[in-house]
Amino acid sequence: MQYSDSHERRRQGTRPPFRRSRNRHPGLAEREPPRQLPKPKGELPGEFAASVFGLVNPLLQHAVAEEGYLTPTPIQEKAIPHLLEGRDLLGCAQTGTGKTAAFLLPILHRLAANPKTPVRGRPRALILAPTRELAAQIADSVTTYGKFLGIPFAVVFGGVSQYPQVKALSRGAELVVATPGRLMDLMEQGHLTLDEIEEFVLDEADRMLDMGFLPDIKRILAKLPEQRHTQFFSATLSPDVLRLAMSMVKDPIHVTISPDQPTVDKINQKVLFVDKPNKDSLLINLLATRPEMAKVIVFARTRHGSDKIVRKLEAADIRADAIHSDKTQRARTNTLHAFRSGRVRVLVATDIASRGIDVDGITHVVNFDLPEETESYVHRIGRTARAGAEGAAYSFVSAEERGLLRAIERMIRKEIPIDNAHDFHSERAERAAGKGGAGGPPQPSWMKSKNSRPDNTRRPERGARPPRFQGRSQPDFGRRPDHAPRAIERDAAPRPPRPRPPRPDVPRSSEERKTAPAPTPAPRREESTPPPKQANWYDKPFKKHLKHREQDVDRPAGTPADRERPPRDDGARADRPARPFRPRPGDDHKPRSAGYKGGGSFKGGRAGGGGFKSAGGFKGGGGFKKGPKPPHRSSRPPQSRDR
């Protein structure tokens, strides 16, 4: 018997041997560790001797130098010396300032300075990240900075098979980069324990709270030992984030970089007012007419909207791809790899890619839809102008998004300039946002800088401060601040007193009241007779009552009102015998027996046959259930048949 598969039957020769794809997910733990560590080449730069990079392990310095980083960022200068000493850190820095290297270099330095034998499933360092892409990016940094140290590590996140991750943990990974969900799963399965953690890092803590990871974080913190080195990093510090941070760190060092300016100054931000149906056409027009937009990230609000934008761009012969949570992890990885390599010009993404995705050479960020969370705007535009580079951020704003634009400008404390040099500019959206045009609302006071105001409208000193122009209840609501001096002079001008009506001479003292004559009563007004009431259509059923009243009113003079009326014939009718009940032919009516009113009482036979229990009640005969019916007894007196 000859065995052949479909590949050979199609005359394509023998099947090629199976080979794993080279495009593996960056940082996946299934990669075998190198048997022989590479050796650094060249000498260390002289700039490291005077910077914080000179404090770390020389092997780490060589790795940093090979990446081309010679000058540390502000957060690296402030954080690395304290972290090398073992102090807890609470850091707040805007995105794209080098936070990953700030906490990763000290961890690798401390692990290399205190080597231990790797233990299966018991790591020494743990780094938590909110998204899979951010965890993979941190794993890339571990590979880059620690390639001369050879410290084993593992990456743990969902969306892929857990087998390579469990295999890496069983080989004795000392450093674990994980997302909370998959980490909890492996802990429950017994593949991982956290009782020997020495270094713990919580990165992008504000994003974790937004994604609902707070219960998982608390369960993970309960498994960590008390004696540990903790680092807490976040782009924004809200009250909830600070409350979580204070429960983790002990006597921390606070490092804050540019808290008053949360956006990078080198990003050229623009607002493009456009109607909502024309956003697709505007994006295609910008990509076609502006060749400087070589590598662009477009942020949409929904997953369906991202796929729709990709279809529109591909119809216009623009290479684009989407990344969102509906795609598998392998598809998301392939999309990011194609975008990094330049095979895809436009990457359309939701907010899943707005945190920590570091792709070199991003020239423009386009906010196709403004984010509903104001803080997400900072992370979106932070994908460009990273590591000191320059970039641009365009925001498409329709009339329905004017409130989101005002919230963003209020947060960044800066008015974003307008770019109307395109064919789809919308005057309606510009007027709705209060950015100009006839009939637009006045510009908010927080948008105006103090130096740009004229001298007569600047805020005076506290002693001579005019009343504040706030609230609709103010008498000067709607008046511009430049009319304040005239309004104040008008309000401060003396007004003539109102004339009061003369008061009557009323005695004040008690003696005057005794001697004073009695006041004359006011003349009573003549009571006018009401007009006769006309009968309405709804008074028809009561006409007979009105008729009796009219008869009483129209009684002739001399007739006594209480005269005796003739008796009614009710008594005479009572003497007549009542007519017996005679059912008509074909009538199904039957006289009622037993039950509540028919013969019988509640218990058997007290007041005559039937009842609830014995003769004809609920259970006995003739009641609600079947049973012997009592004879019919009429309540009317018998009549004579000779009538």
- The pLDDT assigned to 501 comes to 65
Per residue in 280-299, pLDDT (tens digit) is 999 999 999 999 999 999 99
Tokens 């300039």 -> residue: 417
**Token duo for residue 538:** 């709804």
Report the distance separating Cα 77 and Cα 47, nearest Å: 13
Buried b (16+ CB within 10 A) or exposed e, 102-134: bbbbbbbbbbbeeeeeeeebbbbbbbbbbbbbb
For residue 132, what are the contacts with CB-CB under 8 A and spacing of at least 6? 157, 158, 159, 179, 329, 332
- Condensed to tens digits (0 to 9), the pLDDT of residues 429-458 reads 999 888 765 444 455 554 554 455 454 444
% the chain with pLDDT above 70: 60
Spatial contact of 180 and 217, defined as CB atoms under 8 Å apart: yes
What is the pLDDT confidence band of residue 276, given thresholds at 50, 70 and 90? very high
pLDDT given at position 235: 77
Name the one residue in this structure whose structure tokens are 């974003």.
Answer: 416
DSSP state of 481: G
Give the separation between CA 633 and CA 617, rounded to whole angstroms: 17
Packing angle, helices 329-341 and 132-145, rounded to 10: 60
Q: Tens of pLDDT along 525-538?
A: 555 566 666 666 65
How far separated are the first and last CA of the chain, in Å rounded?
Answer: 117
**Quick one: pLDDT at residue 106?**
95
Residue 522: pLDDT band (50, 70, 90) is: low
Tokens of 457: 């409208």
Q: How far is CA 135 from the centre of its chain?
A: 24
Yes or no: say if 365 and 299 are a contact pair by the CB < 8 Å rule. yes
Identify the pLDDT of residue 633: 61
pLDDT of residue 445: 53
pLDDT per position as a tens digit, 397-428: 999 999 999 999 988 888 999 999 999 999 99
Parse the chain into domains and list their residue ranges.
46-256, 267-442
* Cα separation values, 9 from 3, 6, 312, Å: 10, 5, 41
Q: Tell me, what's the pLDDT at 90?
A: 93
pLDDT value of residue 472: 52
**Average pLDDT score over residue span 147-152:** 91
Tokens of 638: 């018998």
3-class SS of residue 231: strand
**Predicted local distance difference test score (pLDDT) of residue 417:** 92
Band the pLDDT of 273: cuts 50, 70, 90.
very high
Q: Say whether pLDDT at 277 is over 90.
A: yes
What's the token pair of residue 427?
């005057």
Contact yes or no for 123/192 (Cβ under 8 A): yes
At which residue do the structure tokens 């119809």 appear?
315
Residue type, 161: S
Torsions phi, psi for 428 (to 5 deg) = -65, -45
Mean pLDDT of the 353-378 span = 84
User: What pLDDT score does 486 carry?
Assistant: 53
Query: Considering only CA atoms, which of 263, 345, 355 is closest in space to residue 298?
Result: 345
Report the pLDDT value the prediction gives residue 556, as an integer from 0 to 100: 53
What percent of the chain is modeled with pLDDT above 90? 38
**What's the confidence (pLDDT) of residue 513?**
64
603 pLDDT more than 50: no
Neighbours of 443 (CB within 10 A): 13
Q: pLDDT digit string (tens) for 60-74?
A: 999 999 988 888 988
User: Which of 98-107, 318-327, 449-458 has the least mean pLDDT?
Assistant: 449-458
- Tell me 153's DSSP state: E
Q: Over 70: is that where the pLDDT of 524 sits?
A: no
Average pLDDT for residues 17-23, to the nearest whole number? Answer: 43
Most confident of 265-269, 363-367, 494-498: 363-367
Most confident option among 1-5, 92-96, 393-397, 500-504: 393-397
> Residues 575-598: pLDDT tens digits?
556 666 666 666 555 555 444 444
Same fold: 46-256 with 267-442: yes
Question: Which amino acid is located at 121 in the chain?
Answer: G
Best CA proximity match to 277, nearest among 432, 104, 419, 396: 396
All residues at 6 or more sequence positions from 470 whose CB lies less than 8 Å from its CB, including other chains: none
Least confident of 73-82, 380-389, 391-400: 380-389
**396 closest CA partner among 271, 268, 263:** 271
323: left (phi over 0), alpha (psi -120 to 50) or beta: beta
Which residues are CB-neighbours of 511 under 8 A, at least 6 positions away?
none
Q: Are 136 and 27 a contacting pair, CB within 8 Å?
A: yes
- Compute the average pLDDT of residues 488-507: 63
Judged against a pLDDT cut of 70, whether residue 609 lies above it is answered with no
Residue 199 pLDDT exceeds 70? yes
Between 630 and 171, where is the model more confident?
171
**Each residue of 160-197: pLDDT tens digit?**
889 999 999 999 999 999 999 999 999 999 999 999 99
For the question of whether the overall pTM of this predicted structure is more than 0.75, the answer is: no
Task: Of 606, 603, 610, give the one whose Cα is nearest residue 633.
Answer: 610
3-state SS assignment for residue 571: helix
Specify the CATH superfamily of domain 46-256: P-loop containing nucleotide triphosphate hydrolases (3.40.50.300)
pLDDT band at residue 271 using 50, 70 and 90 as cut-offs = very high
Which of 25-39, 143-157, 284-298, 562-576 is the least confident region? Answer: 562-576
Residue whose pair of structure tokens reads 């102008």 in the numeric block: 385
284 is written with which tokens? 């295609």
Q: 197: phi > 0 → left, psi -120 to 50 → alpha, else beta; which?
A: beta
Domain 267-442 = CATH 3.40.720.10? no
Confidence band (pLDDT; 50, 70, 90) for 208? confident
What is the pLDDT, as a whole number, of residue 526? 56
Token pair 């949570």: residue: 325
Q: What is the mean pLDDT of the chain?
A: 76
CB atoms within 10 A of CB 636: 10
Q: Using CA atoms, how far apart are residues 114 and 35, in angstroms rounded to an integer?
A: 22
Nearest CA-CA partner of 378 in 351, 348, 358: 351
